[in-house]
Amino acid sequence: MRHSSDIALVPILDDLTSRTVPYVRGVLEGLMATGKRRIVLNMAEVSHVDTAGMSFILGMVRRMRECGGLLSLIDVTPGVLYSLRIARIVDLIPVRAANTPSGVPELDPSVLPLWRTTLPVNAKDLHAARQRVSELAQRLPFSCDEVFDLTLAVGEALGNAADHTCGEGVLATVTAYPDRIVVEVTDCGDGFDGNALPDSCDPERGRGIMLMRLLVDSVCIERRANGAGTLVRLVKLTA
C-alpha cells in the first residue's frame, strides 16, 4: 500500500467477494479515519467481484462522497470491467481498464493557449494555491472528479516544492488549451530529475510522484533549464 497526505493506493490481492470484503472494508475505513480523501483500488489481481463486492464498492462510493472524497479503480481486468459496466459503477466513479495506453498526444506547437495564469505560492498557505488552481480548472470542461484529482496532484507538487526548498520562490503556472490543462510548478531548490528516480531518492517524494501519475494524464519532473530548481509539469486532458 502506498499513500500520501490525502491519497492512498490500495492493491486488492484477491477476488472481491463476501469472504474478502470485511478485510478490505476495514482497510479502507482505517484510511478514511486518517483523513484520506482519495482512495485508488488496484484491481489487477481481481478476476471476480460477486454481489457482496459490488455492494461494498457502491457503499464505499457513497461514504467517500459524503466526506468530500473520491474512490476509483485502476487496472481492472476485462471480466470485472464487464460486470462493473452491467452494474453501472463505471458511471459513478473513475474506472481504468488494465493495459490502458499511457501518455498524452504531443501539443501542436501552432495551437495557442486559451489563457495562462501564474500564481506566486505562499509555502505557509498551500491550500490557497490549491483552491485557486481548482477554480481555474473549473473554467474548462472537466467533471468534478477530474478537478478533484487535478487539485490533489497539484497539491502533491506544491508540497514537494515547499518541503524540498527554502519555501520561497515557488510558482504555479496554469495554462489552458482546447484539449488540456497544463500546470507547471517551479521552485528554487537544488534541482531534481523525477523521470529517473535513483535508489537513494527520498521515499516520500517517490510515493508522491507515483500518486501524481495516478491522478493526471502526464507528469514530467526535471531540473529547470537555468539549473536552479525543479520544474514539475502536470497535464490533464479534457477528453
Do the Cβ atoms of 231 and 161 come closer than 8 Å?
A: no
Q: How far apart are CA 137 and CA 84, in angstroms?
A: 29
2-97 placed in CATH 3.40.50.880: no
Of all residues in the chain, the percent with pLDDT exceeding 90 is 72
Show the DSSP H helices in 125-224 as ranges.
Answer: 126-137, 144-163, 203-215
Residues pairing with 234 in the sheet: 183, 219
Lowest mean pLDDT among 28-32, 40-44, 222-226: 222-226
- First vs last Cα of the chain: how many Å apart? 30
Query: Residue 39 carries which DSSP code?
Result: E
Of all residues in the chain, the percent with pLDDT exceeding 70 is 89
Q: What is the number of residues in the chain?
A: 239
> Among 3.30.565.10, 1.10.260.40, 3.30.230.10, 3.30.930.10, what is the CATH number of 115-237?
3.30.565.10
Q: Where are the domains of the chain?
A: 2-97, 115-237
Q: How far apart are CA 133 and CA 232, in angstroms?
A: 15
Q: Taking all residues of the chain, what is their mean pLDDT, rounded to a whole number?
A: 89
Q: What is the pTM of this model?
A: 0.84
Is the dihedral angle over the CA atoms 169, 184, 174, 213 positive or is it negative? negative
Residues pairing with 185 in the sheet: 172, 232
Q: How far apart are CA 113 and CA 183, in angstroms?
A: 13
Residue partners of 221: CB distance under 8 A and separation at least 6: 192, 193, 194, 195, 209, 230, 231, 232, 233
Do the Cβ atoms of 150 and 183 come closer than 8 Å?
A: yes
Please report the pLDDT score of residue 189 as a whole number: 75
Average pLDDT over residues 21-41: 95
